[in-house]
Structure 1
């Protein structure tokens, strides 16, 4: 292959559709039926992890009641494409608004979720009607490199900064010179990095689930409100009691990959625990906050694309990337933050590194607002981007 041919191939954008092999779905069902279940310790519950009794019930539904093709068909209602950037395969949805004044918007999922997060946002954001008071968007929704339909990473070194550069290149490749970015969870790390690297191209960054860290300024700490102090305590509790997944993925990703790639029940437990811990605490079970079949569709994507380990390796890169933990100068791009009930975002800390122009605190909905309270997230995105250009 000539250099010219390689260059043409490297920037090509190819239409694609999702059609997971039936043999793989049959294998998944068979493996679930043959699960070797860990016994519960009598008298214990969720405080030690996902109870086996609950997990078996959900796994039974996954094996015999869940229909992946329904979710696959919903995804395939929207235009999807694939391209290669920096050696990585990148899958993305690209839905253009019928409105001539629509703003290009990059939507970034996090872990342990996928592009399926945003299915309920597509219609309202792309086609809200003719009124200029309600902004419309051309949406670009990528599977993050190493996640889901983008497939496993091609090698090490995929830091958040490298991912941000690849996604900025994707927007350029699509012909978008000025655009907005929204991200949650991992996406809330990556979205501001895109803005920092391309401040002349990003009109604004909107995030949920933004992690903020103390500035070290005694005056700032003394001025924290009771709500902000409670969030700081909540973050410490999360680090002490709920962060084992992060430490394992950040230090020994290949070890957990062996378990997650071989056992669908293990993959289910690894992900559904996060829906228990991070959704609105007003609900007792994950399926009370998010439709259970949508959760299972998410787990199915990780299982059938074999990206549980690859996604875990991105945590290792984050842990071992010195640039992640250096003090940052304040970013110049307008930034909007939506805070939901399980978020630990603290505005004075955020203002030290971001130009905050929009800050909303919601009294319901948790860490997965696109799945839990899509209408709140839609309104927040609209409110932030209205008037930005």
Structure 2
């Protein structure tokens, strides 16, 4: 495809919209106590933590600083199958750099990779798999990417246009890193386009142990955690997979509702050690602000409406047509919603590398960026061809 099919783009939010958001954050009466005293997060987002996040948003969070962090990268748009797709394309100065497609999930965005892009493009030294040209698209319906134009748009469709994006950028072969729904898109890329996708690294991967095997202590612990998540923590997903348009009416212009709906996942699916840090609150509120200003909470919910539900993930991932054919590595994060084991994940494709880490959860790129960068480099260096 010709380069004129790709247009430069600079993210920008009008000051009047920023002031309007701030006024809405200020003009709200928030809950003052948990629905049941001393219940922690059993009933939802803890009141004390949500109050702290609200107060930080009102008094200390700087959208100007966040916008500066966003615009340190090169942004573009291109039309693929009628979807005007937003993406970051940050090229390395290293002529031997390998193209790397980074795919976010929900409640994330392209910004989820903000702390790994520069280390991946600049700081690897010499040798294969040291540096990368990073391509970070916004999933359809997220931020500045158009939503799908029809019913039934699945991760298979997103995989197809992401593969087309890499070709349009001139990358005949590439590697992938992903978590959450991004990992489901990556799975389809690895299943359908393995001639171009040469290797991938995942930090989230559904799968179940073979029937009849005795689980190790860690496998049993991981299975219990995953089961708890699927039974006690997916109220949000039930809403998203059944009434996405209603969610839009509830949350699109409701910043505090949006903050709690999105922020709850960052609170309960991550390493608790990061929860009260300025770094973490800035990341959450940047994401919430992006969702608010681009009005994407309803369209981001389409991922849940059009694709398998949580309790079907493990079965989906072992279906022959969904097996990852290219070599892939998986890092099992101890604080994740459902960390998995080597014996379970290897049933879902060509697993060639496995590691366990206990320093991060579901948002590994933000919680522990350097360890994740190390894992990506190791997998690609060993298995890129």
Structure 1 length-normalised TM: 0.90
Say if 1:149 and 1:301, in contact at 8 Å, map to a contact too.
Answer: no
Q: For the residues of structure 1 that align with 2:248 and 2:198, how far apart are their CA atoms?
A: 38
Q: For the residues of structure 1 that align with 2:125 and 2:48, how far apart are their CA atoms?
A: 51
- Partner of residue 245, structure 2: 254
Once the two structures are superposed, the pairs formed by residues 216-365 of structure 1 within 5 Å of their partners are 217-218=211-212, 221-222=213-214, 224-281=215-272, 283=273, 286-288=275-277, 291-319=280-308, 325=316, 327-329=318-320, 330-343=323-336, 344-365=339-360
Say if 2:106 and 2:181, in contact at 8 Å, map to a contact too.
Answer: yes
- Partner of residue 204, structure 2: 209
Q: Secondary structure at the match of 2:276?
A: helix
- Runs of 4+ in structure 1 off by over 4 angstroms are 320-324
Is 1:97 matched up with 2:105?
no
Q: For the residues of structure 2 that align with 1:128 and 1:176, how far apart are their CA atoms?
A: 22
The Cα RMSD (Å) is 2.4
Say if 1:168 and 1:194, in contact at 8 Å, map to a contact too.
Answer: yes
Say if 1:29 and 1:64, in contact at 8 Å, map to a contact too.
Answer: no
- Partner of residue 379, structure 2: 384
Aligned pair in 2 of structure 1 residues 52, 174: CA closer, same or farther (>3 Å)? Answer: same
- Partner of residue 86, structure 1: 81
Once the two structures are superposed, the pairs formed by residues 99-248 of structure 1 within 5 Å of their partners are 99-128=94-123, 130-132=125-127, 135-215=130-210, 217-218=211-212, 221-222=213-214, 224-248=215-239
Is 1:50 matched up with 2:39?
no
Deviations 1:146-187 (CA, angstroms, capped at 9, x unpaired): 112214443432211111111011001111001001101111
Gap runs ≥5 in structure 2: none
- Partner of residue 3, structure 1: none
Q: Secondary structure at the match of 1:56?
A: helix
Q: For the residues of structure 2 that align with 1:359 and 1:326, how far apart are their CA atoms?
A: 17
**Residue 27 of structure 1: which of 1, 11, 20 is its match?**
20
Gap runs ≥5 in structure 1: 1-6
Q: Secondary structure at the match of 2:307?
A: helix
How far off is 1:372 after superposition?
0.6
Say if 2:334 and 2:360, in contact at 8 Å, map to a contact too.
Answer: yes
Is 1:77 matched up with 2:72?
yes
Q: Secondary structure at the match of 2:16?
A: helix
Q: Secondary structure at the match of 1:341?
A: strand
Q: Secondary structure at the match of 1:50?
A: coil
Q: For the residues of structure 1 that align with 2:277 and 2:65, how far apart are their CA atoms?
A: 21
Aligned pair in 2 of structure 1 residues 166, 227: CA closer, same or farther (>3 Å)? Answer: same
How far off is 1:383 after superposition?
0.4
How far off is 1:320 after superposition?
7.7
Q: For the residues of structure 1 that align with 2:366 and 2:360, how far apart are their CA atoms?
A: 9
Q: Secondary structure at the match of 2:101?
A: strand
- Paired positions, count: 376
Q: For the residues of structure 1 that align with 2:317 and 2:86, how far apart are their CA atoms?
A: 31
Say if 1:28 and 1:63, in contact at 8 Å, map to a contact too.
Answer: no
Q: For the residues of structure 1 that align with 2:317 and 2:180, how far apart are their CA atoms?
A: 20
Q: For the residues of structure 2 that align with 1:350 and 1:376, how far apart are their CA atoms?
A: 20
Q: For the residues of structure 2 that align with 1:363 and 1:319, how far apart are their CA atoms?
A: 28
Aligned pair in 2 of structure 1 residues 382, 337: CA closer, same or farther (>3 Å)? Answer: same
